[in-house]
Structures are given as C-alpha cells and as structure tokens.
Structure 1
Amino acid sequence: MEVKIAVRSVHREIVIETDLSADEVEQELRNSLAADRGVFSLTDTKGMRVVVPVSSLGFVEIGEDASRVVGFGGTI
C-alpha cells in the first residue's frame, strides 16, 4: 500500500510503500497524534523507517492497493 506524507515547508511529499493495511496506518497515525510531542513513523517494504514529528505533518494520504491491469484490451 502506498502512503504519502506531506511535511510542512517541504515541497515534495514522502511516498512510502508499506505492508501495513490502511487501518493499521491510520491507527499508527492516531496513536502518534495522541502523544505529547509525538512522532509518526512507518517502515517501508524494504525495512527503511521514516520518522516525522507530528507537529510538522501537513497531511497523510493512505491509498489502497489496487490491482493494476497490464496489457492491451479489446479484440483484434
């Protein structure tokens, strides 16, 4: 699943591919926001961890994995 994290005053979003479900990512975010001086952290599919102070978060976009169709449609 792809997760996009916008950080205040940074022009590019952080894009992470994670094995967590949308509900698990949302729960991690909720836990981070509830903590005093919390940090939001996720680990990507390669084991790299991204840590962002919640005070710097702009937004978090949680996408669902969609099966991608590869090939050509139609008949010949």
Structure 2
Amino acid sequence: MEVKIGVQHSPRELVVDSPKTPDEIAADVASAMSGGTKDGLLTLEDERGRRVLVPVDRIAYVEIAQADQRRVGFVAGGA
C-alpha cells in the first residue's frame, strides 16, 4: 500500500510503501491521532524495514492507496 502523509508547513508530502493492509494502516493512524501513542508520533514501517515517524500534531492529511505499477517503456516518434 502506498501511504501519502501531508505535513503542515512542508511543501512536500511523505510517501511510504507499506506492506500492511489499508485497514491496518487506518487503525494505526486513528490510534495515533486519538492519543493512543505515548510519544505523540505516528510510526509507519515501509517494505524495506525503514521507519518513518511523524508528529501527530503536524499531520495535515493521510492518503492510503494501492501502489502504482511502475512502467518502463519508450515512446515512439520523437521530435
């Protein structure tokens, strides 16, 4: 799953490719937002085991979607 997190006062969003299901990610986000974490952080782990920690009070939005299939190809007929 691809998770996009908008952070307040930041021009770019964070993108994490998570191995979790959309329901698991939504539960993690809801728990963090409702004060379910002691440290006030949303912690997500990507497919490679890297962790992303975001302060809950800085989250603007969270988007959960299927990861796009990356296409490799060429376009015929250039300039």
- Gaps of at least 5 residues in structure 2 are 74-79
- Displacement of 1:65: 4.6
Residue identity in the other structure for 1:53:
P
In structure 2, distance between residues paired with 1:68 and 1:51? 26
Of 50, 57, 60, 1:58 maps to 60
TM-score between both structures, scaled by the size of structure 1: 0.81
In structure 1, distance between residues paired with 2:26 and 2:47? 17
- Paired residue secondary structure (1:45): coil
Count of residues in Structure 1 that have an aligned counterpart in Structure 2: 71
Match of 2:17 in 1: 17
- Paired residue secondary structure (2:24): helix
Off by >2 Å, runs of 4+ in structure 1: 64-71
Match of 2:76 in 1: none
- Gaps of at least 5 residues in structure 1 are 72-76
Residue identity in the other structure for 1:8:
Q
In structure 2, distance between residues paired with 1:52 and 1:67? 26
The share of aligned pairs that are identical, in percent, is: 37
